[in-house]
Structure formats: C-alpha cells, structure tokens
Structure 1
Amino acid sequence: MEVRVSVCIPCYNAENYILETLQSLLNQTYKNFEIIVIDDGSEDNSIEKIESMILKDKRIHLYKNNNNRGVAFTRNRAFELCNAEYIAYMDADDTAPPNRLELQVNFLDSHLNIDGVGGSYNIINEKGEFIQKVIMTAQSPEMIKATLLFRNCIANGSVMLRKRVIDEEQIRYDEEKKDLEDYDFWVRFVKNHNFINLSNILQNYRVTQESLSRKCANCEGNLRDQRFDDIHRYVLKERGYLLPAKEEQVYFCATRENGHISGLAEYFLLRRALWRINKFTSQKYPELRKAVLFRSRELYQEQKYQMLSSFFSKLRGKNKIY
C-alpha cells in the first residue's frame, strides 16, 4: 500500500522526549504513514533513542544533518525526503492525540478546496502533565487570512498539508526569519491556498526549561521586532495595502509580539491605518471584510487598553506621596 502521510520531525537534543513523541505516532488510529526524523546535530542520546524505535517499527526513518543547521533548514530538507500525499508536522518533544492523523486525513480527503489543516492544542509540562487548553479562534480560511495580517494563528506542530502545494510552488521556510519562520511560512502559504483550523485538539505542546531558554535567547535585542516588521511589511505589500510611512510604522509597533503604542498621537495614527486597511479590504477582498474588521477592532481595543493603562500608571506614580 502506498504511504499517504509523511510525519516530519526535526530533532535536536530531545533524548528526554523523543521516545514518547514517536510512541504517540505509533499509537495513531490511522496507520498508513511514515515518520521522517531528521537529527539536527544532537549532542545527547537522541539518535540512539530513535534507532531503538526503528528496530520496533520500520515506518520510522532517520536522517542526519552534518551539523546543527536550525529548524528552518531541517524542515525544508524534510520536504525533499517526504514521499507521501500529505505532510504532517511534529516537534520532537510534543505528542499527538491518538486520532490526530485520522481526523486530518479524513478532512483533507473530503475538502478538496482546502490545502492545509491545523487545530487546537494542549499545553503540557516536562512531565507530560496538562497545563492549559488553547482553542484556535481563527478557524475559517477567511479568518485565518485576516488574522495573519496582525499575528500568527497556526500551531505549526498540529499541521497537515498537501505535498503538491510544496512541490508546485516551492514554498520554503526562510532561515533568516529565525524563531519566526513559522509565521513567515504561513503568510506565504495562504497567499494562494486555503487553510483551516479545527477546534479538535491535535497537539500536546510541551513547554520545557530548554524551550523557554531558547525563546528568551532569540528575543534578545531588536532582531525579533525587525523580523515581525519584515513579515508584516511583506503582508501589506503582497495584498496591496498602502499606508503612509507614519501609519505603517505605528502598525508595525502594534503588531509586534507584546507590541504597544506610546501615546495619543500614535493611537490616532493606528486608528487611521486600520481604517485604510478595512476600506481597501472592502474594495479588493470583500470576502475578508468581516474578518479583517473583527481583527482590526480587536487590535484597536488592545492598544487602547494598554495606552490607558500606561497613562494611569504614570499618573499614579506622579501623585505618589513619599
């Protein structure tokens, strides 16, 4: 039987979790898949753990990078190694609910106008204990395209997509967008293809001390903000939104991670920028009008709250008696 799903797993120093990750895939109710694991220069016993699982199940295939190349390079390499109709993503420290692959294969088989499907997820700790459920509020293709104007709304480790899209259009992860390569990839993917998020839990996302440390390291300086700006600049240009320079800069500030505007003047510039975006959306993308309006109002209210909170905090500080 021809394999229909390739599950791609970049692995780097995941010896504590990779066995559990692989076992969660072997426990899937859907069986017609292969597992492509690419070790990205691990310095622990990850390779030995993976090889022990290969002895149990020949659907697991191990490849190795010559040295540590990063997750974007490794995912791009996985695209070249996959042989199946569908590509599913997994991270080496996460796990998948038993029905994940079955749900996604059935969905893509019955919705030929959809080229990618993700879902909601649980956050778990290092021991695999439940912390929090995250339901993706952006579910329809229209709401996803609208939300990507402002932030990422796709849980990468929950995704399955059609391989032909990757082959035909050569969509790849950008190694220059380090730690935001997922966001950049999905912005480009939805340019010509429909993506949908299911409300079903499709991923158990593990938060570890190592992952938190890497995230903090990646956030140093202004590089992360610059990468956010580059992605949002691309979105505006690709979709034809033209904003005056000052309005564009305020839009960038508001749409960064933990972004905020600093005063009343910027608040009114943001309001004007969002008005232009909504007006243009109504003219060129009427199918996105309601979704973009909803996300614009959401951002507007968030920034308004932050601005007022900052103002009153400073006011209390001035009036404080010592």
Structure 2
Amino acid sequence: MTLPLISVALCTYNGEKYIEAQLNSLIHQTYKYLEIIIVDDGSTDDTAHLVQQMVANDGRIKFYRNEQNLGFNQNFQKAIGLTTGEYIAICDQDDIWAENKIEILHQHIGDNWLIFSNSSCIDEQDKTLEWNILRDFNFGSRNYKSILLHNWVTGHTTLFKREFLDYLLPIPPDGYYDWWMGFVALYHNKITYLDQVLTRYRIHSASVTQQEQNITEKAYKLKWLEIVLTMVNNFRQYKNLAAADQLYINKLYRALTSKKHSLISFPLLSIINRDYHNFFPDSKQRKPLSRLNFAFKFAKGFKFLKP
C-alpha cells in the first residue's frame, strides 16, 4: 500500500537554542514519507544557518525566509500554504516529538479532519516537569460551545487532512491559529482526540506562554479576557456557520461587550448560567446557586475591558 505524503509545517523565529533537537526528532520519525516545510519569520540569531546545515543532509527539508516579520498566525498560514502533503502536522521550533508521533496520529485520524493529542512539559534543560498540557481531559460528546471561551486544542499536537483547508483558511490575523483550528473542526464534528503524550512541550523564558505568565495576575487576566473577546469575534464571522449558530455567537459577543451596567453584563451572566455545562465540560458539576455565582464572577470580569 502506498503511504500518503505527510507535511510538517514548522515556523521559526530566533530559535537557535532548540531548533536542532526539534529537527532531529522530525527527521527520525518512524513515518518516513515526510516533507518538512520550515518558514523563518526574520530571525536575527543563528537559526537560519543551523537549519540550512540540516537541509543539506536531508532532502525532505525545504527552507524559506520571510522578507518581513509576519507574526505567528500568518507565518503558520504561509507555511501551511507551502505544503503539498495529503496530511499536515503543525510543529513548534523548540519542542521534541516522540519518534512515532506522526505514525500514530495518522493511524488514528480515521474519517476526521483533525486529530490532536497530549503533551508533557519540559524545561530549558530537557527536564520533564510534573504536568501535562491537558489534565483530566475527556473529549466526550462536547459541542462547539465548549471551545468558544477557552481553547484545548494545541497546534503542535495536531495532524489534519488537506481537505480541512477549504474550511480552515483564511486564518484570522488576530488571536490564536490553533484555537481557530479547533473551533472549525469541532463545529463540523470532524475532530478526534488521542489520549497519548506524543510531544515534549518546552517551557522556557522566551516562549510566548511563559512571557504571558510573567506579568501580574490582573494584567494576565485582562489579556486573557481580550483574547476571548477576539476569538469570539473571529468565530461569529466563520463563513460556514448555520444561521441559528451565528445568531447565538453574535448574542454571546454582544453580551461580552455590553457596558450598559456599571458592575456586570446581565446578558452575559444569563448566557453563562444557562449554558455552563456546554461552555465548561471539564469543570465540576454545579448546583443552581453555585452555577449562578460562577456566572456572576465570570461576567463581572469583563467589565474591566475597555469599551
């Protein structure tokens, strides 16, 4: 049986410290029929030189450099656009993949458009930390509402089919590309989860995740609220929404941005209270009073955002 070509879309930016380890984990995958598309977003360190050395030793690697910095969303969209494989895997520059990651994801994707898995966390010295990205996660029978307010699909764990691009693209310029991917695939019920750790996800001082955490708690919360607002705005503009679902997400967006009351958005409180179990399937089950209290605190948080 002829194996399909699988493309790895890898974006780099000042990644000289870890790029060789990541590339070594790619070229030694048990699934060999790969192309590795690397797009550098204007690195000023030695990343390009290190990648070019590896290109010379493996014809499956293709390297491109942007003339100007695009940012991670648009850079990943460019990298995806340069792929030719029947399947595409997203790759960060500083992780380490299990050697059978591509093989296992390909075996389990089935008739879905997208499959994602779990990751363990490592530090700057490759030491394994005590947590995984997804903890006590159960995919279950969740619907698209479960991904409107928080993301649980991390791009570096995904493999998806080329046919998915007809629905995925264009990726909105603002927000997170993997959150968008998860929403689109889930909306069409074409997503599945494999409960295996197939990536060692690096936590280090230069990573976007770590930089976001190294700010005050209030600033971090405000940033998160702004991202939620950005993503809900993206979702309500998705081109393939059914009319009823577009109406619902528009209603949610208006509730998130409501400033009619000095303390709280009561429309948002009502929506969160009513659809709590759809929005937060991984959270504990709550009795009516507890659910209402949660909804009040959630809605109250958005009053701090600028109109």
Task: Give the TM-score range, shorter chain.
Answer: 0.7 to 0.9
Report if the CA contact (8 A) 1:147-1:153 is conserved: no
Describe how 1:12-23 pairs up with structure 2 within 5 A: 12-23=13-24
Compared CA separation, residues 206 and 276, structure 1 to 2 (3 A): same
Q: 1:215 aligns with which of 187, 201, 212?
A: 212
Report if the CA contact (8 A) 1:120-1:198 is conserved: yes
For structure 2, list consecutive stretches of 5 or more residues without a partner in the other structure: 298-307
Offset of 1:301 from its aligned partner? 5.5
Q: What is residue 177 of structure 2 aligned with on the other side?
A: 181
TM-score by length of 1: 0.73
Among all aligned residue pairs of Structure 1 and Structure 2, give the percentage whose two residues are the same amino acid.
Answer: 20
Q: Spell out, residue by residue over 1:269-313, the C-alpha distance to the aligned partner (whole angstroms, 9 max, x if none).
A: 6653235447xxxxxxxxxxx755845866965964996xxxxxx
Q: What is residue 41 of structure 1 aligned with on the other side?
A: 42
Q: Distance in 1 between matches of 2:97 and 2:221?
A: 34
Structure 1 stretches of 4+ with a deviation exceeding 6 A read: 217-221, 242-247
Q: What is residue 304 of structure 2 aligned with on the other side?
A: none
Q: 1:123 aligns with which of 118, 121, 130?
A: 121
Whether 2:206 is the aligned partner of 1:199: answer no
Q: Whose helix fraction is larger, Structure 1's or Structure 2's?
A: 1
Offset of 1:186 from its aligned partner? 2.5
Report if the CA contact (8 A) 1:5-1:86 is conserved: yes
Report if the CA contact (8 A) 1:120-1:158 is conserved: yes
Deviates more, 1:40-49 or 1:126-135: 126-135
Offset of 1:163 from its aligned partner? 1.1
Q: Which residue type is aligned with residue 124 of structure 1?
A: I
Q: Distance in 2 between matches of 1:251 and 1:133?
A: 37
Describe how 1:241-320 pairs up with structure 2 within 5 A: 241=248, 248-249=255-256, 272-277=270-275, 294=281, 304=294
Q: Spell out, residue by residue over 1:91-138, the C-alpha distance to the aligned partner (whole angstroms, 9 max, x if none).
A: 000111111111111112xx21x1100111101101111013324555
Q: Which of structures 1 and 2 has the bigger CA Rg?
A: 1
TM-score by length of 2: 0.76
Q: What is residue 163 of structure 2 aligned with on the other side?
A: 164
Q: Spell out, residue by residue over 1:151-187, the C-alpha distance to the aligned partner (whole angstroms, 9 max, x if none).
A: 1011211100001220x3352322222xx33323432
Q: What is residue 97 of structure 1 aligned with on the other side?
A: 98
Q: What is residue 314 of structure 1 aligned with on the other side?
A: none
For structure 1, list consecutive stretches of 5 or more residues without a partner in the other structure: 253-261, 279-289, 308-322
Report if the CA contact (8 A) 2:25-2:98 is conserved: yes
